[in-house]
Amino acid sequence: MTVTTPDADLREVHGPSALGGGRRRFFDLLWLMAVTEFRRTYFGTVFGYLWSLVRPLMLFGVLLFVFTQVFKVGSELDDYPVLLLLGIVQFTFFQEATTAAVTSVVAQEGVVRKTQFPRLVIPLATVLTSFFNFCLNLVIVLVFILAWGVEPMWTWLLFPVAVAALFVLTAAGSMILSVLFVRFRDVAIIWTVLAQVLFYATPILYPLGPVGEKPPVLDEWQEHLLMLNPLAVIFEQVRVWMLEPSAPSAAEAAGGAIHLLPALAIFLGTCAFAVWIFNREAPRIAEDL
Amino acid sequence: MPVEDPATQTPADRRAPAPQPGDPLAIQVEGLEKSFRIPTHRVDSFKERLVRPFAAREYRELHALQGISFEVRKGEFFGIVGRNGSGKSTLLKLLASIYRPDAGRIRMAGRLAPFIELGVGFNMELTARENVVLNGVMMGLTPGETRRRLDAVIDFAELGEFAELKLKNYSSGMLVRLAFSVMMEADADVLLIDEVLAVGDASFQQKCADAFHAMKARGKTIVLVTHEMATVEEYCHRAMLIDGGHIRQIGDPAETGREYLKLNFERGVETGDATSGPGADGARLLDCWLEDAAGERTTTLEHGEEIHLRAEIEVEREATGLGVGFVIANADGLGLFEFGTQVKAADGSDVVPAGTRTLVKAQLENPLAPGRHFVHCGAQSNRGGGVHVYVHNALDFVVFGTVGTKGIVSIEHEIEASVETEEKR
């Protein structure tokens, strides 16, 4: 059959993609999916939200006991409880969002295989849902911080910058994991272990720099090494901005601002890799499932 | 939505006027190709990838579509038929942007409904209302537009009182109704539909049929993929037959239908034509049909609803000891079970005189899993001159329902599980 009438209305169909179907539809879908899922998980049942709060609080309680009563590292530092709580709430967001995202695309198999759906919405919506939960938890943490007696500081205004960086890193990780899981099903197990490793490679349990009157927990080179981890950089900077202006900033812990460049490179590299691999795999997800 | 009265119209009248060659195009497909790589050994973990780094390099190439070109005009109702594995579903998925073509070009005008099956976007944990909004946005409406249309959708599905109920508590019929109304309300310009007409109960089927006619009247373009030639002939302006990834026939639906039957005929030894053929000698199967409980002909059954099978057989020569029987097969052509009986004449003898007709009535429980099923029907007598007839796929019907069964049939059973007490141990 030959082409007879070239029609002005005809537009090329490009097949499935990460964003497919227009920018507005993408954001509408993303927002709607995240909000609906959030409402369902956290407000669908009476204890829905409470449960999501209980988990980090339990962890906090246990760790606080262990690190102030058993190992004395925590009791030397006045702000240790708030530091620990803030760290746990931030890390819980990162861990929950990425873990949920791993299986998200595969779980939405029906949608992926039978509708033209912007693929990127799926992992991002799970991240956004966890983010809403994170924001609620932050309100509670803030109350706790004020009750603890931390004076509000102008640097609190910088906190959203750190949260934004954490969000971007979480989203990038989720994109990579969700798309890899389509092909390699052991990604879920590998990630559980890696996330655990990241927890210890981030200054949550142990403070950097001098602990009260005592010398630092870590050697200088260990602190430098830790600052390769973008999460560690973010968390340490949050500590300085939110709780202790006198604590070593990320740049100080790394041994100079220039030494933060590797962490920045890892951060940007992760984001670039996420965009690249998601764009590469998105058209094929329906076939690989 | 304007409702036509189908009773007063013949199928030909019910077809909206066909678009003419000068009309604008809605879909243009040129040289479309798609193949799938099927690895001989699927590597699906990093562990395996490390152990066998080259395993995935070996694969078999499956050419699902090989150079498909066609055009669909605005307002056209276009049918795509083909056997299982012919590539018709792949084509639909390419049109719907679910797969990316390897070569060729697809161009489309207007807004496309991104669904190829009813209710795929539904989340069972959400209420009907939330699902309708989500689906609307998926179809490209803004959340605001969707909320404005919400009541109309719920009303059309006749689900007003269940709007706040979670979908997991819905019956299969209710789900289908909701899915269908969502699709109708999305008001897309181009619809791609994979076998949806044979769902729901009879009255809702009628409503769907009316809705389709209304859409045709409004100049919507519809591409329908189906097994069922009756549907194609009733609704479609043009139809295309795909076989082995190539277009075998495109044009008049009746012509395409005949070609499709011929194709089935080539494949099997037996014919899909219910009246005669090489499978017959001295006997003819005149008709074979399914009835509902009220004795009306039907092509759909709800899961668990009793099967009433009827067949009419005529013998041309006198036959002694004529046996008749049915085989029920599923969509994959797998014979599930068969049953039959001996024909008895009015006087109780087993001689069936030449030229007489036998009406076979069978009634059985319906253990069939939801899906399409086929009935093969035959009659045979070995004594005397011997007559026989066998018709492969004499009839096909759809069992609908959403029972999640893993098997091909569900059989009656008794099962008990109890916790053992201390004493018993």
pLDDT in tens, A261-283: 999 999 999 999 999 999 988 88
CA distance A141 to chain B (A): 31
**DSSP letter assigned to residue B232:** H
Q: Give B144's pLDDT tier (boundaries 50, 70, 90).
A: confident
Interface of A with B in 37-76 (CB under 8 A): 40, 44
pLDDT: which is higher, A158 or B257 = A158
- In Å, how far is A16's CA from the nearest CA of chain B? 5
Residue A279, chain B, CB below 8 Å: the answer is: no
Torsion of CA A12, A17, A23, A28, to 10 degrees: 130
Q: Which has the higher per-residue pLDDT, B419 or B403?
A: B419
Percent of chain A with pLDDT over 90: 39
pLDDT range class, residue A241, cuts 50, 70, 90: very high
Contact B107 A20 (CB under 8 A): no
Q: Which of A10, A115, A183 sits opposite B25 (nearest CB)?
A: A10
- Rounded mean pLDDT, B44-59: 71
- Amino acid identity of A7? D
**Does the pLDDT at position A217 exceed 50?**
yes
For B138, which of A7, A29, A183 is closest by C-beta distance? A29
Rounded-to-5 percentages of helix, strand, coil across chain B: 25, 35, 40
Nearest chain A residue to B22 by CA distance is A5
> B280-400 in CATH: which number?
2.70.50.60
Task: Report yes or no: B247 and B67 within 8 Å, Cβ to Cβ.
Answer: no
Question: Does residue B270 register a pLDDT over 50?
Answer: no
Q: What residue spans in chain B does CATH classification 3.40.50.300 cover?
A: 6-113+188-267
Cβ contacts of B117 on chain A, cutoff 8 Å: 114
Confidence (pLDDT) at B13: 44
For A147-176, b/e burial (b = at least 16 CB within 10 A) is eeebeeeeeeeebeebbebbbbbbbbbbbb
Q: What is the pLDDT of residues B89-142, one digit of tens each?
A: 888 888 888 888 888 888 888 888 777 777 777 888 888 888 888 888 887 778
Within 8 A of B121 by CB-CB distance, chain A residues are 110-111, 115, 117
Residue contact B137–A32, C-beta within 8 A: yes
**Looking at the complex, does the CB of residue A190 fall below 8 Å from at least one CB of chain B?**
yes
Q: Judging by beta carbons within 10 Å of its beta carbon (0-12, 13-18, 19+), is residue B119 exposed, middle or buried?
A: buried
Q: What is the pairing mode between strands A11-12 and B319-320?
A: unpaired
SS3 B7: helix
Q: Who's near B349: CB < 8 A, 6+ residues apart?
A: none
Checking if the pLDDT of B14 tops 50, the result is no
pLDDT tier for residue B357 given thresholds of 50, 70 and 90: confident
What confidence score (pLDDT) does residue B414 get?
A: 87
Of B202, B195, B232, nearest in space to B371 by CA: B195
Given an 8 Å threshold on Cβ–Cβ distance, is A10 in contact with B130? no
* Residue in A closest to B143 by C-alpha: A28
Q: pLDDT tens for residues A39-75?
A: 887 776 667 677 777 877 888 888 887 777 777 766 6
A151 in B contact zone (CB under 8 Å): no
Rounded to an integer, the average pLDDT of B305-329 is 87
CATH 2.70.50.60: which residues of chain B? 280-400
Distance from CA of A270 to the nearest CA of B (A): 19
Q: Which residue in chain B has the smallest CA separation from A119?
A: B98
- Find, among B219, B256, B251, the residue nearest to B19 by Cα: B219
List CB contacts (< 8 A) between A11 and chain B: 107-109
**What is the model's pLDDT at position A127?**
96
From chain B, pick out residues whose CB is under 8 angstroms from the CB of A9: 24-25, 109-110
3-state secondary structure of A162: helix
**B100–A283: do the CB atoms touch at under 8 Å?**
yes
Taking each helix axis from N to C end, the angle separating A80-107 and A187-200, rounded to the nearest 10 degrees, works out to 170
Say whether A5 and B22 touch across the interface (CB within 8 A).
Answer: yes
CA distance A289 to chain B (A): 11
Would you call A186 an interface residue with chain B, using a CB distance cutoff of 8 Å? yes
Is A32's CB within 8 Å of B134's CB? yes
- Selecting from A20, A186, A284 the residue whose C-beta is nearest the C-beta of B97 gives A20
DSSP 8-state assignment for residue B396: E
Interatomic CA distance for residues B423 and B282, integer angstroms: 70
* SS3 annotation, B304-346: CCCEEEEEEEEECCCEECCEEEEEEEECCCCEEEEEEEECCCC
Q: Count other Cβ atoms within 10 Å, centred on residue B423.
A: 5
Which member of B21, B22, B108 has the closest CB to residue A11? B108
Tokens of A281: 């795999």
Q: Which residues of chain B are within 8 Å of residue A5 when distances are taken between CB atoms?
A: 22, 24-25
Lowest mean pLDDT among A268-282, B14-28, B322-336, B366-380: B14-28
pLDDT above 70 covers a percentage of chain B that reads: 82
Average pLDDT over all residues of chain A:
85
The nearest alpha carbon in chain B to A110 belongs to: B120
Please tell me the distance from the alpha carbon of residue B362 to that of residue B325, in angstroms, as a whole number.
9
Which chain A residue has its CA at the smallest distance from B118's CA?
A114
Superfamily of domain B6-113+188-267 in CATH is: P-loop containing nucleotide triphosphate hydrolases (3.40.50.300)
Claim: this prediction has a pTM higher than 0.90: no
Overall size of chain B counted in residues: 425
Residue B354: name the closest of B324, B322, B314 by CA.
Answer: B314
CB contacts, 8 Å: B250 with chain A: 1
> Would you say the C-alpha torsion A174, A176, A178, A181 has a positive or negative sign?
negative
How confident is the prediction for chain B on average, in pLDDT? 78
Contact A284 B70 (CB under 8 A): no
Q: Is residue A280 less than 8 Å (CB to CB) from chain B?
A: no
Q: Please give, rounded to a whole number of angstroms, the shortest distance from the CA of A35 to a CA of chain B.
A: 11
Q: How many CA atoms lie within 13 A of B281 on its CB side?
A: 7
CB contact under 8 A, A115 and B30: no
* pLDDT reported for residue B50: 76
Indicate if the pLDDT at residue B417 is higher than 70: yes
pLDDT at A162: 94
How many A-B residue pairs are in contact by the CB < 8 A criterion? Answer: 119
Comparing CA positions, the residue from A124, A131, A133, A170 lying closest to residue A52 is A133
